[in-house]
Amino acid sequence: MTSSSVQREQMFLGGEWEPSATGETFEATSPATGEVIATIPQGNREDAGRAIAAARSAARAWAGLTAFERAAKMHQIGDIIEARRDALARTLTLDQGKPLRAEAYDEVDELTEYWRMAAEDSKRLVGELPNSFSPGKRVMLVRRARGVVGVISPWNWPYTMPAELIAPALACGNAVVWTPAPSTAVCAVALARCIADADLPAGVFNLVTGPGPVVGDEIARNPGVDGVGFIGSTGTGRHVAQAAAGKAALLEMGGNGPLVVMHDADVAAAVEATLSACYLCAGQSCTAGERILVHRAVRDEFVERLARAVTERILLGDPFANETTMGPLNNEGVARKMDDHVEDAVARGASVMSGGARADGFPTALYWEPTVLSDVPPDARVATDETFGPVAPVVAIDSLEQAIELTNASPYGLLAAVFTADLAAGLEFADRVRTGWVNINESSNYWESQLPFGGRAGSDSGIGRVGGAHVMQSFTELQTIVLTPSQARSGRTERG
């Protein structure tokens, strides 16, 4: 394990690094080593209010810059991140727990891409010139920044998930107030330093650390905030939606998407996809394979292959070691959920094919063995709730129809995946399941950052879309301009 020194961090408000209004702090502890690695300001509503006021003061001038001027700043941030790649990756491993070589560097590289993508997408953000009812008139639909956007982000991808909101919000002309999950606040400060060092105008970007029920709630409900972007759990997302009532809101929430393996599937490919679906980020992903629905005709072969692959290839260990492919869970809450869900499944008749318990011999109790469960009942908690841990719960199915029914029985509607040699069956699955994204013959954890991603309407997985330029639709609004040249004939003049 890599040792660390304790850093005393600050918040970024109105262009300055500052402590909280009360001077209170909380300790950041590494899930990998158990060490205290930093003290973080314990922000409160007053701190959030100061950040929002600073953002409001800066918003108009920032929106008044050209898209090309703002894009240059986004590229500058990308350059800074790229230059700090090693330090950012090591901070991610220490603060979040991701294995350095297997995952942390990849997240930092993707983080750089988010700023580059936002820079270029903002240059291509266009309006429309619709026809007018009245001869001679000209109509322009222009996209305007909303003003101040509040961003509330989770701990599982502490660089890329906030960036997929912050970068486009800034690029299209908004000022931003960001509050990150406390358990990865050290990563948040490291990213905020990259943004601050690009010398944006004071107040355009602000970071407030502290408890979500206080700081996040204030950001969501404060009348000085014009729009809210949230990524996180369904329960927290509902609270944010209520607090932000009447404002533009983009909510990317939980998932319980299945990975379906049909009787004609390429079993080897499905096993490979399941490794990514269930053990990437130690299963702590909203697109994780939360339940693996496998046709009985190939169930035994699939389980045998999967258990063997997990034993041979998923190496739980020191996340700083080059050979490690899976690190610890991030916090005790998610570890307890793994405890409860696996215990419940076994009590209901599931068989443990590999793993099944917390691992011994590590610096913290957050190291959970990569687990495969067979014979999981469809109503077990590990198959119905969002477990958010390194487990592949295999549920037997008898038909595509049953796979569709089980998928749609879930309150979630984020993502689903299906493996089949029958393209028509794959497309039928996509047509009938109520999820915002469907992968055919690919892992549930496969997605591309420029594509629209989010939950289906009526589900517990949120509203709106992140991904590339699509998120800018939520962070801008249309202004209608009707131009009447002096010689234009009079037409309809008002809305009746």
What SS3 class is residue 113? helix
Question: H or E element: which one contains 415?
Answer: strand 415-419
| DSSP element (H, E) containing 391 | strand 391-397
Q: Which residues contact 227 (CB under 8 A, 6 or more apart)?
A: 146, 147, 148, 149, 150, 174, 247, 248, 249, 250, 474, 475
Sequence-distant (6+) residues with CB within 8 A of 12 are 18, 192, 196, 205, 206, 207
CB 158 within 8 A of CB 95: yes
| Distance in angstroms (rounded) separating the CA atoms of residues 148 and 355 | 47
The full DSSP string for 312-327 is: HH--BS-TTSTT--B-
Q: Which of the 8 DSSP states describes residue 183?
A: G
Q: At what angle do helices 185-196 and 67-83 cross, to 10 degrees?
A: 130
Q: What positions carry a catalytic annotation?
A: 252, 286
| Pairing assessment for the beta strands 391-397 and 291-295 based on DSSP bridges | parallel
Dist. CA 175–CA 102, nearest whole Å = 34
Residue listed under structure tokens 């962070």 = 475
Residue that is written with structure tokens 């912050």 in the block: 166
**Among candidates 131, 133, 139, which has minimal Cα distance to 489?**
133
Kindly report the number of other CB atoms within 10 A of residue 221's CB atom. Answer: 18
**How many whole angstroms separate alpha carbon 58 and alpha carbon 467?**
26
Long-range contacts from 125-132, C-beta under 8 angstroms, 24+ separation: 125/67, 125/172, 125/469, 125/472, 125/476, 127/478, 132/482, 132/491
Which tokens belong to 124? 């291509």
H/E stretch holding 52: helix 45-64
**How far is it, in rounded angstroms, from Cα 359 to Cα 182?**
25
